[in-house]
Each structure stands twice: as C-alpha cells, then as structure tokens.
Structure 1
Amino acid sequence: MKTAITECDSGRDRGRWDPRHTVLDVVIPVHNEEHVLAASVRTVLHLLREQFPYPFRITIADSGSTDGTLRVARRLASMVPEVRVQVMSRKGRGLALKQAWSTSDALILAYMDVDLSTDLSALFPLVAPLMSGHSDLAIGSRLTHGSHVVRGAKREFISRSYNFILRQSLRVRFTDAQCGFKAIRSDVARALLPLVQDDTWFFDTELLTLAERARLRIHEVPVDWYDDPDSRVHIASAARDDLLGVWRLLRSRSEADPQLQSLRKDLGRLGIDESVPTM
C-alpha cells in the first residue's frame, strides 16, 4: 500500500541555511517518542552546527504517533531552520525512511535512532567515505573490531544469533544488520529503495542484502553503543518478522537478480566476468 506524506513542515527563518544545497540529511524516525525527541534533536543539532562544515538538515519522520510526538516535532521545526517534519499515516521504521530518503534533495542520506544509543562521534566516520565517493553505503557496527557495546546478555545473544543466521543463510558479509545508524548516497538510494519491500524493522537487513547482491561498497564503522533500557522494540515479534523476511529473500533471490544486474550496470559495479567480453 502506498502511503502518502500528509505533511511537510520546516523552519520559517532559514538564515544561512540554504535547502537547495543540502549535503547531509539526518533522518530520525519516530513513533510515540515525545519524551525524548526534543532533547535528542537538540543534541544532534549542536553536534552538526559545531562540527559539520556543510549545509545539513535534520528530518523528523513521524510514522503514526498517537501521543504528543508530532506536536513536539512541529514546535522544533518552527523554531529551528535546519529541522523539518514529515508525517506518515501508519507505523513503520522502514516506511518512514523510504519516504524521507526518497523525497530528500541532500547528497548524503543518514538515519539514527531517536534514543541516540550510538555515540555520535561515529557520525563523521560514517558519512566521510560517502562524501569522498569511496563507498555507496555506510553502517555502524556493534560487532566489528573496535566497537564498544554495553547491553544485557539476552540482547547481545539475540543480536549475534541473528547476524550469524544472516551470514549462514543469505551469505552476507556485513557484520551488523540492525544497528540504527546508517548512511547512503542519494543516487544509490534512488536506485535501491524501489527494490526494498519491507516497511518495518527488516528494512535494514533487506537494504543491505540487496546492496551486497548489487556489489555496492558497504563501509563499516565500529561504534560505541549503549542499550536503551526504555527501548520500544518487541523482541519476539521483531524476531519473527526478521526470520520471515530472511525466508522471503532466500526464495526471491533469482527473481530479483535481473533488477540487481541492471543496478550494477547503472552504478558501475560490474565484475570481471560481466565487463570483459569472452574471447
């Protein structure tokens, strides 16, 4: 089902910020997060204003909130020129990211979870290889060398088990599918997003799996990550949906291959067997 964006607000007094030349768009997907949204946006805003030397935007992507989240988001957008709000009529992190990324004019598209569990010191290592053209996507990883993670044994076991299943079943090489800290070049997003079917938590895994199949370059950044004790993720239902998504990708691999082949050609990721004529 196609869900239209019902609202797009932004600050009135743009000042030095010119939306026509946005380099980085940081999307924060939210659903019923009124208690933490303002503080999180201000934290990200302060970091970007102090340390990011190019024009940026923060997009609050609200998907079906029923509390005061939208009211807080609108107030921030009315006060801060770098903040805008997009509103979707139904819930889904994948849906929010698809809509926000698909309608953004920025060169680099990123997202982070509103709880800011990932230390923001990793943001610039995340976007730098995309700005230089070295990579197509970049992900924060809690499971690669150099990362530092503080969380309970249960969540640690579930995370490692899930990523082990991905490596064994889908033969992927990325280490951490679900860390809520990712970035992508806008031209890559425009080509890749129409192939991603999931609108919920499996969106990240499907996006990365299709990117690998298209031979796109995925850069991994070790992160410092601190578990949010107030996390709204329902582990059992998320795990069920993830496993169903894995099964769907296993069954649909051959069906998607022609589209991925076209994507490889469009983005210049041909392998030797495809780019060199057979003698």
Structure 2
Amino acid sequence: METAALRTRLVEVVVPVHNEQRALRASTTRLHAYLAGTFPYGFRITIADNASTDDTWRIATELAGELPHVRALHLDEKGRGRALRHVWSRSEADVVSYMDVDLSTDLDAFLPLVAPLLSGHSDLAIGTRLARASRVERGPKRELISRSYNLLLRSVMGAGFSDAQCGFKAVRTEIAHALLPGVEDEQWFFDTELLLLAERHGLRIHEVPVDWVDDPDSRVDILRTAMDDLRGLARVARETLSGAARIPMPARVERAELPKGMARQLPRFAIVGTGSTLAYLVLFSSLREILSPLAANAVALLVTAVANTAVNRRFTFGVTGSAGAMRHQLEALIAFLVGLTLTSGSLFLLPDRVSYGVELIAVVIANAAATLVRFLLLRVWVFNPERKTTR
C-alpha cells in the first residue's frame, strides 16, 4: 500500500542533449534501469534535444519507443536553459529535475536530491562537488575554474549555495513555474540565475554532496561558457541593484509573508495582552494581601482572561454582535486553564518564604508562555472564520 502511494508522486528527469549521439543510448538505458529498479517514486525521463545536427534525435525517438516512461522532445533552437525551460514550464510532475547526459554524477545521489522536495522540506535541490563529503575526479583546469566561479558568486553576489554549475538539480514544480518567468538566460547561465533568484525570494535550497567523474570528451567550451557566465553575473547584479530582478510570487511560495490576517492581528493582540498583563499584576498584588499566592493567581487570571477574550473578540479578530459570545468565552477557558496551570505550577515550584518580587517574576514568565498558547488557540480555533461548528 505504501509503495503504491509513493508511485503516485511523479518526478520528471530531463536530459538536455545537443549532438550527443555517442553517449545518449548507453546513458539513457542505464538511467532508466536504475530508476526502474531502485527509485521508489514514479518517474518520467524526457530527452530534450535542442537543435542537434547528428543522429541524436533519431536515437532519442528510438529510445522513447523502446523504453517505458521515456519520451523525446525536439527544439529547433540550441540552449540547455531553453530546453529546461520548455519542459519544466509544461510539466505536471510533482518535482522536475535534470542531469547531464554523460551521467558524471553518481546516480545514488538522486533520491537524496529529490526526497526533501517531495516531503516539502526544501524548494530546490542541487548536487555539489565542493562539499567535503564529495568525491571528484577532474582535471586541475576545470577544478580551478569551478572553484573561482563559485567563489565569485559568494563574494560578489552573496550566494549561499556552494556549486552553481553541477549538472544535477531538482525543483518543486510549482516553484519552477513561479521562478521561470524571472530567468532570462537560455544557455549555461540558466542554473546560476535560477538559484540567485530563488535565494533572493527566500526559498530553501538543499545541497547534496555528490561523487563526480569528469567526462574527458565533454562538448562544453569552457572559455566561452565562462565569459557568458560573467556577462550573466553582470546583468543580474545590475537588475538586483535596480530592483528589476524582483518578481511576483504566489503566497504559498513567498517566505517573507505572514499567514493571512496575522500582520493585523499580532500588534492588536499585543496591545490587548499588555493591558491584560498590567490588570493581572494589579489584581494579583491586591488579592495577595488577603489570599494565598495560588488563590490570588487563580482569581486574577480568571477575571483578566474573561476581559481579554471579550476585547480580542472584537478588536483583534473582528467578531461583532452577541451571537456566539458565550461559546467563545467557554472555548477560551481552555487557554485560561493552560495559563492557570503554568502560573500555578511556577508558584508551586518556588521555595517556601520567597519574596513577593520573586513571585511576580515567576508568574510574569509563566504568563508570557501562556500568552503564546492563547494567541494560537484564539486564532486557529476559537475565532477562526473557516472552522466548522456542530450543534
């Protein structure tokens, strides 16, 4: 039953290719066998051919006909970023991802890459070759260029991620759909721009150390790619300074926003809470002259709790009229009991014959904890306009 539930989640793996007739068949067959044999979620492999001039497209269509869960897509224009944008923006999968056709990254890192996205823990995930736990085999030239580029990103752009160029990434599909309109590059800088945009919007980027073996027959023009990346960085820096890089994000994606209504409710609740605390302290101090600490605390807390609920009902949560007022008071008594338990417990745990000042400090601290519980109860239950009530 659990396996069937996992299979309902879909991960799309895009393999962008340009003139890769040499490696395409072997790599796709290996990737398909690995996912079919070990991957616990549903998957689809999309071979995105961007303007190949050799036999790449023919091989891609053959593979799509031979292997289940494999499809082929052809674009008339070249560009890895263009291919990823085309597939990701149209995908209905839960998570979209991509990897280089040479499969330089060990496939055992793929499940750790996508699992935090499927669980909702993270928004984007990248493989990193620069972590201490990573094992990397590549020449000194590529190593120097990669480390220099990522150092530039961290020092100039303030990037928090460690490896922008590793061809092993995944994104929650709703996040990809929100970010893609703000990404301009269609080539190799696409990855970096996507990550910088994600960080600027406060999204969570998960990093997975990977084992990497460099492909000596790689078609990447290192010098040209490096120059394009530098031009892309300059453009993004200008847009960031001008404010043009900010894009509208759905409320469920934007991390900086409070839940609906809370921006108004919090300050109002704080005002009411401050008044209630002062009233509680006055009552507790007066009653302490004639009652025990526990009895004075209970009476003062009950009186201020009833008043607090009535004021918050109208002022903080905007509930008008008398309908439901008694029910609200009775339900809010749960918050009163939480506060009574915390404050009474703090007084009970004090040593005998402590000073009056120590008693006040104890009940104020306990009241602070009870206030947080009270706000949550009032917001999500007592005065929640969307709750369903039964007679």
> Secondary structure, in 3 states, of the residue corresponding to 1:176?
coil
1:30 matched residue in structure 2: 17
Cα offset for 1:144?
1.4
Equivalent residues in 2 for 1:77-92, closer than 5 Å: 77-92=64-79
Query: Helix, strand or coil for the counterpart of 1:60?
Result: strand
8 Å Cα contact 2:197/2:245 also seen in 1? no
- Answering whether residue 242 of structure 2 is matched by residue 263 of structure 1, we say no
Deviation string, structure 1 residues 213-255 (Cα, Å, up to 9, x no partner):
0100000000000110001110111010000000001000133
Aligned pairs for 1:68-83 within 5 A: 68-83=55-70
- Taking every aligned residue pair, what percent have the same amino acid on both sides? 56
TM-score by length of 1: 0.88
Q: Partner of 1:220 in structure 2?
A: 207
**Pair 22,66 (structure 1): closer, same or farther in 2 beyond 3 Å:** farther
Query: Corresponding residue for 1:119?
Result: 106
Question: What secondary structure is seen at the aligned counterpart in 1 of 2:256?
Answer: coil
Question: Which of the numbers 100, 104, 108 marks the counterpart of 2:87?
Answer: 100
Show the 5 A alignment for 1:164-179.
Answer: 164-179=151-166
Deviations 1:172-194 (A, max 9, x none): 10000000000000000110011
Deviation at 1:271, TM superposition (A): 6.2
Asked if 1:62 corresponds to 2:58, the answer is no
| Inter-partner Cα distance in structure 1 for 2:217 and 2:246 | 43
Work out the CA distance in 2 between the residues paired with 1:266 and 1:38: 40
Higher helix share: 2
Name the CA distance, whole Å, in 1 between partners of 2:212 and 2:42: 27
* Contact preservation (8 Å) 2:123, 2:204: yes
SS at structure 1 position matched to 2:244: helix
Query: Equivalent residue for 2:234?
Result: 247
| CA–CA distance in structure 2, aligned partners of residues 206 and 178 of structure 1 | 11
Using the alignment, how far apart are the partners of 1:46 and 1:176 within structure 2? 28
Instruction: State the aligned residue count.
Output: 257
For residues 154-174 of structure 1, give each alpha carbon's deviation from its aligned partner in whole angstroms, at most 9, with x where no partner exists.
110000000001111111100
Q: Give the AA of the match of 2:111.
A: F
Instruction: Give the Cα–Cα distance (whole angstroms) in 2 for the partners of residues 256 and 49 of structure 1.
Output: 44
Give the Cα separation in 2 of the matches to 1:30 and 1:161. 26
Paired residues of 1:126 and 1:221 also in contact (CA < 8 A)? yes
CA distance in 2, matches of 1:197, 1:255: 15
Over the aligned positions, Cα root-mean-square deviation in angstroms equals 1.9
Match status 1:47 vs 2:34: yes
> Residue 22 of structure 1 contacts residue 57 of structure 1 at CA under 8 Å; is this kept in 2?
no
**Letter of the 2:244 counterpart:** A
**Separation of aligned partners in 1, 2:40 and 2:221:** 38
Instruction: Give TM-score, length-normalised by structure 2.
Output: 0.63
Deviation per residue, 1:72-111 (Å, 9 max, x gap): 0000111112110111101100000000111111111010
CA shift at 1:40, angstroms?
0.4
Greater per-residue strand proportion? 1
Structure 2 residue matching 1:27: 3-state secondary structure: strand
Deviates more, 1:208-217 or 1:250-259: 250-259
- Residue 128 of structure 1: which of 111, 115, 130 is its match? 115
Return the letter of the residue paired with 1:190.
H
Q: Distance in 2 between matches of 1:22 and 1:42?
A: 22
Retained in 2: the 8 A contact 1:130–1:137? yes
Residue 249 and residue 264 in structure 1: after superposition, are their counterparts in 2 closer, same or farther (change >3 A)?
Answer: farther
- Of structures 1 and 2, the larger Rg is shown by 2
Aligned residue in 2 for 1:155: 142
The gaps in structure 2 that reach 5 residues or longer are: 1-7, 268-391
Give the 3-state SS of the residue equivalent to 2:96 in structure 1. strand
Gaps of 5+ in 1: 1-20
In the aligned structure 2, how far is the partner of 1:256 from the partner of 1:270? 18
Q: Secondary structure at the match of 2:164?
A: coil
Q: Distance in 2 between matches of 1:250 and 1:181?
A: 25
1:258 Cα deviation after fit: 4.1
CA distance in 2, matches of 1:103, 1:145: 36
In structure 1, the residue matched to 2:221 is 234
Q: Please list, as runs of the form range in 1=range in 2, the aligned pairs for 1:192-207 lying within 5 A after superposition.
A: 192-207=179-194
